[in-house]
RNA sequence: UGGGGCGUCGCCAAGUGGUUAAGGCAUCGGGUUUUGAUCCCGGUAUUCGGAGGUUCGAAUCCUCCCGCCCCAGCCA
């Protein structure tokens, strides 16, 4: 559908070559989140890439939870992740997979490794292990337990498994090379004792496989052909390959790394996002200021715009920082094309049309969208008393037409989809504050040009004062005041924007908005895009989130 | 510092020895407009981290140098 052909990325090139050479006959990918937090915009890139690759090459993509660390994981996250991936529009055919489904298989592969003399139970504690590991420049030294007989290791592993050994007292380690320049290859721990109930396996296990011992094997079990992960795992690849070549796996998956998405003014670290939630800086994981998928959804960002944005991103090995304005561009693009228009006055200023009959009301018809007639039109009650925005009136009559395209005493303005009016008089209270404007309307100007000599300064939005609906608006700004909240010496908490949320109460919205539902998107003309807040809005109280302002 | 990876416009990025060095975002002009929105036109890198070299010809090949990122969790 796109007229501009997007160049193929290096992973697509590899897959194409693999297919042509017959190395793989069907492409299988996977999105492998750990259920220890909510998904964010960075994950969306990975999701779109993995599911997208499967789609492009007619293969499949699994959703697989990498739940090998019960300490941090929870079913709440599993459910949220499933909802988020679905919402983004992807399907993994059948049930999601879990690393924990393979614990039994993984355990017997561990036994196999021991029998083959390629793994051993080590009794070094954490601190000792660190000392033995060496540093970036010094090689490590062998553990004194390294040559322990396989039979003994097998026996100890079983004891670890049944809970007979204390946490931290022993580990199972792969026997590789303590002098490898790649620290990951210096006899990495592949099983550790954790006497913690697992969200799926309960207290069945007292030991859990480490990431490196699990991931490649999980891929192999599922027949994953191209295991795509982020750059920081590049140093783990030799280890990934060591396992796939030292174990009798049903298939040999290959790992490829690409640069993760970084956005300025945004934080994409599950740990730190969790901190924001736990410390109450935001209203939960789905706070509309959060870069989480659930936060974006609640804010009113569409799944389509997230997908479009992700697809526009390069899949390469450079790790850059994308300007959030680029993301916002796609949010506006989709909303501009699809959101129905509506009017809402944020700072109401009452105006009375002195020449409009007191009890008269006519229903004006406004289009749902300026250039889409498939969206239903709207009925706008027009009455003698209306509200316009205070910012759309100025007492300074010397303002040029070019500079101020709004109401000024003695001049005209067009009410959007309505009449042309003229401001005649300002009413103020004792303190000098403007409380009302007396105006007059020009009959016959709905959908018609005003008579000769009447030149409206511009078009402003409005709402009937006697037949409209009240609502609250939650307007958001960037959560952080600096482009790189995560850099520098100070904590990112110090860079939180104190004005990231502004609540505007008692706004006046056109009547039709009373029936707005969660999931609908609106453009409040001349203001921005808004969507019902699923948390605060209720039958008796309309609450909208500002998804994003108009440019 | 040992290993791994990366450096093309303010940001992202195509480019795979011969192109006027794409495109998007941002930005700056101008036009249309009953949203100061959208839309439409147009401007914005003699140059590809730097220096040498190979070649008729280099962002693309070679050499050296510089800079940035990742790895020393019983996290993933």
Cβ atoms of residues A260 and A230 within 8 Å: yes
| A148, part of any domain | yes
Strand B neighbours among A 370-389, CB < 7 A = 370-371
Task: Judge whether residue A312 contacts strand B, using its CB and a 7 Å cut-off.
Answer: yes
Is the Cβ atom of A168 within 7 Å of strand B at any atom? yes
Percentage of chain A modeled with pLDDT above 70: 99
In a domain, A471, yes or no: no
* Domain housing A17: 1-95+211-258
Q: Examine the pLDDT at A20 and tell me if it is beyond 70.
A: yes
Does one domain contain both A107 and A176? yes
Q: Is the backbone of residue A158 left (phi > 0), alpha (psi -120 to 50) or beta?
A: alpha
CA geometry: angle at A293 spanning A345 and A28, to 5°?
Answer: 145
At which residue do the structure tokens 């390629």 appear?
A118
DSSP A252: -
Which residues in A462-488 are b (16+ Cβ under 10 Å) and which e?
A: bbbbebbbebbbbbbbbbbebeebeee
What is the pairing mode between strands A378-383 and A361-366?
Answer: antiparallel
Q: Is A73 a catalytic residue?
A: no
Structure tokens given for A533 = 């807040």
pLDDT tens digit sequence for A51-85: 999 999 999 999 999 999 999 999 999 999 999 99
Rounded to 5 degrees, φ, ψ at A492 are -60, -20
Task: Look up the CATH number of the domain holding residue A134.
Answer: 3.90.800.10
Tell me whether residue A71 is in a domain.
Answer: yes
Whole-structure pTM over 0.90, yes or no? yes
- CATH number at A409 reads 2.40.240.10
H or E segment to which residue A502 belongs: strand A501-510
Nucleotides of B under 7 A from a protein CB: 1-8, 10-16, 22-26, 34-39, 69-76
The answer as to whether A320 is a domain residue is no
Q: Go through chain A and tell me how many residues it has.
A: 551
Rounded Cα distance, A426 and A432, in Å: 11
For the residues A411-420, what does the mean pLDDT come to?
Answer: 98
Q: Helices H, strands E: what count in chain A?
A: 12, 25
pLDDT of A1: 34
Number of domain units in chain A: 3
Which nucleotide across the nucleic acid strands is nearest to A181, CA versus C1'?
Answer: B3
Residue A431 and residue A406 in one domain: yes
* A215 in the same domain as A85: yes
d(CA A4, CA A1): 9
Which of A209, A243, A277 terminates a domain? The answer is A209
- The string of pLDDT tens digits covering residues A127-152 is 999 999 999 999 999 999 999 999 99
Decide: A365 and A379 in contact? Cβ < 8 Å: yes
Whether A108 and A59 map to the same domain: the answer is: no
Do A14 and A47 reside in the same domain of the chain?
A: yes
Question: Mutual orientation of helices A324-338 and A303-312 as an angle, nearest 10°?
Answer: 140
Query: Measured from the CB, is A448 under 7 Å from any atom of strand B?
Result: yes
- Tally of CA atoms within 13 A in the half-sphere of A124 that contains its CB: 21
pLDDT in tens, A320-373: 999 999 999 999 999 999 999 999 999 999 999 999 999 999 999 999 999 999
* pLDDT tens digits, A172-204: 999 999 999 999 999 999 999 999 999 999 999
Nearest nucleotide (C1') to alpha carbon of A213: B76
Distance CA A436, CA A351 (A): 6
Nearest residue: Cα versus C1' of B4: A235
A256: closest CA among A9, A64, A8? A9
- At A507 the pLDDT is 98
Å between CA of A485 and C1' of B26 = 21
End position of a domain, from candidates A415, A437, A466: A466
Q: What are A384's two structure tokens?
A: 């003698």
CB–CB of A387/A345 below 8 Å?
A: yes
CATH of the domain at A237: 3.40.50.620
Q: Do residues A225 and A366 both lie within one domain?
A: no
A459 and A369 housed in the same domain: yes
Does the annotation count A260 as an active-site position? yes
Q: Which pLDDT does position A5 carry in this prediction?
A: 63
Q: Which of residues 464-523 of A touch strand B (CB under 7 A)?
A: 523
Protein-nucleic contacts, chain A 57-76 to strand B, CB < 7 Å: 66, 68-69, 71-72
Give domain status of residue A407, yes or no. yes
A270 is catalytic: yes
Last residue of a domain, one of A466, A490, A516: A466
Domain presence at residue A155: yes
Residue for token pair 């027009």: A382
Asked whether residue A490 carries a pLDDT value surpassing 90, the answer given is: no
Name the 3-class secondary structure at A546: strand
Residues A347 and A380 in one domain: yes
Q: Which helix (H) or strand (E) holds A30?
A: strand A28-31
**DSSP per-residue letters across A181-204:** SSGGGSS-EEEEE----BTTTBTS
Helix locations, A7-165, DSSP H? 10-20, 41-56, 75-87, 103-115, 126-133, 150-162
Residue A239 in any domain: the answer is yes
Cβ distance A188 to A212 under 8 Å?
yes
| Consecutive H or E run containing A366 | strand A361-366
Same domain, A217 and A360: no
Q: Region A216-227: what's the mean pLDDT?
A: 98
Asked if residue A106 has pLDDT above 60, the reply is yes
Strand B-proximal residues of A, range 219-278, CB below 7 A, are: 231-236, 259
CB A127 under 7 Å to nucleic chain B: no
Q: Tell me the C-alpha distance between A3 and A178, whole Å.
A: 54
Q: What ipTM goes with this model?
A: 0.96
**Exposure string (b/e) for A389-402, b if CB count within 10 Å is 16 or more?**
beebbeeeeeeeee
> Which tokens hold the place of A519?
């999931």
Kindly determine whether the C-beta of residue A206 is less than 7 Å away from any atom of nucleic acid strand B. no
> Does A217 lie in the same domain as A91?
yes
What do you get for the CA distance between the two ends of chain A, in Å? Answer: 27
- Is A531 part of any domain? no
Does residue A456 contact residue A412 with C-beta atoms inside 8 Å? yes
Do A179 and A108 lie in one domain? The reply is yes
Distance from residue A258 (CA) to nucleotide B65 (C1'), in Å?
28
Residues A74 and A131 in one domain: no
């Amino acid at each position: 559908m796109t007229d501009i052909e997007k160049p193929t990325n290096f992973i697509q090139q590899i897959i194409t070559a693999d297919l042509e050479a017959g190395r793989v006959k069907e492409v299988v990918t996977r999105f492998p989140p750990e259920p220890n937090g909510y998904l964010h915009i960075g994950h969306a890139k990975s999701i779109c890439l993995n599911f997208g690759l499967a789609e492009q090459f007619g293969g499949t993509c699994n959703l697989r939870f990498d739940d090998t660390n019960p300490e941090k994981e929870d079913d709440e996250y599993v459910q949220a992740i499933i909802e988020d991936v679905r919402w983004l529009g992807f399907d993994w055919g059948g049930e999601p997979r879990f690393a924990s489904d393979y614990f039994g298989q993984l355990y017997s592969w561990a036994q196999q490794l021991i029998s083959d003399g390629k793994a051993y139970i080590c009794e070094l504690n954490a601190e000792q292990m660190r000392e033995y590991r060496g540093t970036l420049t010094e090689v490590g030294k062998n553990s004194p337990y390294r040559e322990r007989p396989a039979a003994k290791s097998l026996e100890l592993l079983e004891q670890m498994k049944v809970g007979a050994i204390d946490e931290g007292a022993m580990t199972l380690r792969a026997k590789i090379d303590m002098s490898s320049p790649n620290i990951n290859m210096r006899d990495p721990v592949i099983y550790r004792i954790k006497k913690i109930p697992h969200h799926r396996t309960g207290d069945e296990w007292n030991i859990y496989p480490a990431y490196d011992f699990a991931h490649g094997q999980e891929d192999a079990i599922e027949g994953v052909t191209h295991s795509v992960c982020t750059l920081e795992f590049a140093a783990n690849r030799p280890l990934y390959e060591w396992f796939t070549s030292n174990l009798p796996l049903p298939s040999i998956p290959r790992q490829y790394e690409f640069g993760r998405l970084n956005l300025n003014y945004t934080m994409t670290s599950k740990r730190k996002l969790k901190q924001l939630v736990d410390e109450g800086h935001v209203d939960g994981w789905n706070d509309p200021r959060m870069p989480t998928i659930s936060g974006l959804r609640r804010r009113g960002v569409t799944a389509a715009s997230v997908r479009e944005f992700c697809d526009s991103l390069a899949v390469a090995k450079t790790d850059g920082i994308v300007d959030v304005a680029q993301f916002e561009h796609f949010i506006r693009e989709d909303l501009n094309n699809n959101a129905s228009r509506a009017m809402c006055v944020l700072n109401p200023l009452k105006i009375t049309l002195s020449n409009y009959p007191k009890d008269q009301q006519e229903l004006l018809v406004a289009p749902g969208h300026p250039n889409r007639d498939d969206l239903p039109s709207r009925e706008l009650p027009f009455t003698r008393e209306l509200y316009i925005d205070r910012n759309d009136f100025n007492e300074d009559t010397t303002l040029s037409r070019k500079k101020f395209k709004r109401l000024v005493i003695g001049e005209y303005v067009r009410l959007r989809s309505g009449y042309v009016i003229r401001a005649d008089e300002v009413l103020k209270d004792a303190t000098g504050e403007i409380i009302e404007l007396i105006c007059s309307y020009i009959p016959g100007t709905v959908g018609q040009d005003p008579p000769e000599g009447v030149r409206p300064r511009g078009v402003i939005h409005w709402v009937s004062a006697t037949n409209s609906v009240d609502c609250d608006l939650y307007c958001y700004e960037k959560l952080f005041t600096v482009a790189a909240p995560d850099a520098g010496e100070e904590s990112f908490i110090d860079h939180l924007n104190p004005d990231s949320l502004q609540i505007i109460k008692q706004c006046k919205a056109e009547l039709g908005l009373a029936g707005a539902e969660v999931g609908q998107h609106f453009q409040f003309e001349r203001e921005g895009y808004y969507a019902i807040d699923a948390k605060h809005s209720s039958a008796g109280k309309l609450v909208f989130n500002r998804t994003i302002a108009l440019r």
